[in-house]
A and B are shown apart, each in its own frame.
Chain A
């Protein structure tokens, strides 16, 4: 209270101490704030620059919402008023910036904006610096309103850069003219794309001058001189990278950074690595960056500072490509052994991603991941080993190798639990592939796994039990051994419910069921549907929410977490082709004591992770199922429909104008479905464009069983509608009727076409007829992630053309739609706007209806 009294004093000293007290100690939601606001308002109106300055300082320092409400309208007026003192203008600009940051909605945009831009021409460099900060932030949100600032900023910059070091007097810092202002101006220019040619020439000149200055001998030996000079230089380089349009400048920038990589100053090495990381993603300089690979690896090995090493890892990750992947991954692995604990997990994820992304040879991939687990097992997260299993299962050619390798790895006296998990899973699935070798006969395999059993935690033991029951199927000769193990008290009476249940169920299963049933229940896992690597999602999560709040991503993560425990949910476990075994057991009349137990699907947690996207899509019995339909536009396999009774899965393949679709109908109940009749319905229009042929299926579907129907598809001509799949059956006494749209869409008949930049633009221009182009601008429905988008475009069927569009953020694709009658060339271009969370999609094809339809389909995907 006393402090507030001081504010209204007329004496400077008293006012000052009052303000200091408030800005340091008063909490922003204090009740006094109203009184304080009043005092501030008086001071702002006082026309005394000192008092105004104090008041503005106070507003900026407290920066609360109440203050913004009270003063947001007033400060712009002070800022642009002609008679305001320089120092007050400076404070007002920053004060406004602060308020804008806390509550952007409260700062009104108005005609003051254009006048603020002209502050860039102000005589007083302090004012210019403050104004530049303000404009930079405002321009990020309202690029249009501040567009004029670009040319002003460029001319200001060129005046500074070309001035002699003495021209700017006070603002020359250790012989560098106005370094802070230059940095700010360069930052401002990074809010905009490269300006039009006239201004651009001037800007390029400036940037060249800055680069040239770096080569000049230093004017002073002081570290401050080089610091200031390099601050400007680094900012210039990041502008060059941002514009990404002048190959010449990019290469020079890269060389400059290369010099810094070996500089004596640790700070410079650090920053050089950081900038190079962004540079590596630019198409023009990727090659140039790669020449420094040895230096970077060296930095990783010899650098004494963990911050710098971390940057080196980031850069290696960014510059990796197919040719250097083996080398880089090997280096990172060897670094991992000595790496700091704080960054190990991140390195593990990066290695796993690189190994997968650039694996030419999957045996190398398997080796790498197993090495990874060996070296840093504690830091290998679930996702990493889930992923290796997904890949092994989906690729027949590495299964035998993988089994052999894990078998060898498991022979080490001490191995990490994660390795046991991978080993258990892979041997359980593919142990038969190496059983021929007497050194890895079934019994040896089993004993090896079982020797690790007692050292593992409950989830791993559960997984191992599943592996054992799979052995029963694979190798009948070890059946009795395994039954003995399962029968032992430590299993059957285990304190853990999950283990006990598994042991009981598996034991019954192995004694009661015939070999046929065993073979069906325990058949090899079906290939996993391709989807985004969960590791990538994890790395993203670790890196913190980037520019977008990854709502969907986190949702998916969460559903994994929820289901990731040892208990798989029956619904998702029966998802693809494994029929639910618990239902089978019921049918045999020998149900285990706990009827709703988890079905013996090996690696429950894994399975759930894999199906988490289908689990989240389990829709109520919606007749339309439009959502599911959209999900199939960019992929061919998955679950199309699911309710309490029935699950419909799809697998399809397309070549040119022909396709084949396998539809799996799964009966989720334990009762038979009678008069089961699926019918394909095509509207009249569609019938002439699309030929569908199928055979009728068996009219009864047993409880828990699955039937398969094959549909042969021929595309006669382009089409827009989709056929409808109608299913009718009797369940119990009631008649059931389900209709779903079958995801046969035009884009399925895409054949990707690779072409070079020139060809692309030539064709693009050829299709310039207004009817041939369809454009759609729409809001992003999903997080705007580059990798996901790329995957979707490829899934859509077209080729993804890299290095075609001058702006690397854009996506360009090309392909040919094959129909029986014609072939239609399609070009597409997708331009994301991260700030506005919008996309612009442009399609050009030789046929209007095709452009229209493809645009509709693809727009739904982002």
Chain B
């Protein structure tokens, strides 16, 4: 089972944080920080697995990560998952992002938080791998976009929905929408084909 999916950039700024096990906010942030430090000090050409140790759940857990241009994708999984399988899953996830955003880059993850979450939801559900077929995922996303369009999108939604979104308890969200370092030039992710 996948315990957590973390995506952060080379400076340790979290871009996507998804836990499939409840942790209090502070612990989540601490986990992200520690994971970042663990991953950062590793060379590019050494192996992609490392034992997470005390972070989540203890010795049964492994961190499996991949590094793309400016972003680290880290999956924390237990022993019931195949290591190479998860490595490929990360690849599928990133390729899907690439297809949906056409040359995905870090900025896409910042500005289209919701979409990234939807895509992730198509791939991993409640910590379990749902779909590994890229075409299927892309098709689902397109269907979703069509539905959204036909309903006029969120902006055209009735006032109730808009107010709902505005009234959402905002202080909890900004950890994902950090605009502090936007002036840094963000290169595109490497190409996949």
Contacts and interface: CB of A to CB of B under 8 A. Distances in A.
A95 B164 contact: no
Contacts of B80: 136, 187
Interface in A94-123: 94-95, 97-98, 101
Interface stretch (A159-167, A204-212, A228-236, A367-375): A228-236
A180 B132 contact: yes
A2 B129 contact: no
B47 A13 contact: no
Interface residues of A, number: 66
B172 interface: yes
Interface string B151-167: 10110010011011101
A133 interface: yes
B153 A179 contact: no
A90 B172 contact: no
B100 to A, nearest CB: 16
A259 interface: no
Contact of B161 (A17, A91, A97, A304): A17
A180 B147 CA distance: 30
Nearest to A269: B47
A737 interface: no
Contact of B164 (A5, A90, A544): A5
A14 interface: yes
A125 B129 CA distance: 13
B87 A227 contact: yes
A23 to B, nearest CB: 8
Contact of A57 (B58, B83, B121, B144): B121
Interface stretch (A24-32, A405-413, A445-453, A494-502): A24-32
Interface of B, helix, strand, loop or mixed by DSSP:
mixed
A224 interface: yes
A20 B114 contact: yes
Given A5-B164, A126-B131, A308-B47, A17 B84 contact: no
A267 B47 contact: yes
Given A11-B151, A60-B128, A173 B136 contact: no
A271 B147 contact: no
A761 interface: no
Contact of A231 (B46, B59, B84, B161): B84
Interface stretch (B29-37, B48-56, B67-75, B182-190): B48-56
A170 B135 contact: yes
Nearest to A270: B47
B88 A173 contact: yes
Contacts of A230: 84
B133 A170 contact: yes
B12 interface: no
Given A227-B88, A267-B48, A543-B59, A101 B1 contact: yes
B142 interface: no
B20 A271 contact: no
A12 interface: yes
B85 interface: yes
Interface string B78-118: 00101111011101100000000000000000000010011
Contacts of A125: 133
B129 to A, nearest CB: 7
B157 to A, nearest CB: 6
Interface in A50-64: 50, 56-57, 59-61, 63
B125 A17 contact: no
Given A94-B128, A270-B49, A308-B46, A9 B83 contact: no
A101 B128 CA distance: 11
B125 A57 contact: yes
B69 to A, nearest CB: 16
Interface of A: 2-3, 5-6, 9, 11-14, 16-18, 20-21, 23-25, 27-28, 50, 56-57, 59-61, 63, 87, 90-91, 94-95, 97-98, 101, 125-126, 129-130, 133, 136, 170-171, 173, 179-180, 183, 187, 224, 227-228, 230-231, 234-235, 266-267, 269-271, 304-305, 307-308, 310, 543-544
27 contacts: A2-B167, A2-B168, A3-B168, A13-B151, A13-B157, A17-B164, A20-B114, A21-B168, A27-B22, A28-B22, A59-B126, A63-B20, A126-B131, A126-B136, A130-B128, A173-B132, A227-B88, A230-B84, A231-B83, A231-B85, A266-B48, A267-B83, A305-B43, A305-B47, A307-B50, A308-B47, A544-B59
**Shortest 7 CB-CB contacts between residues of A and residues of B:** A60-B126, A2-B164, A231-B84, A305-B46, A266-B47, A98-B126, A270-B47
Given A183-B85, A307-B46, 15 more contacts: A3-B164, A14-B157, A59-B126, A91-B125, A126-B131, A171-B133, A183-B82, A231-B83, A234-B84, A266-B48, A267-B47, A267-B48, A269-B47, A270-B49, A308-B47
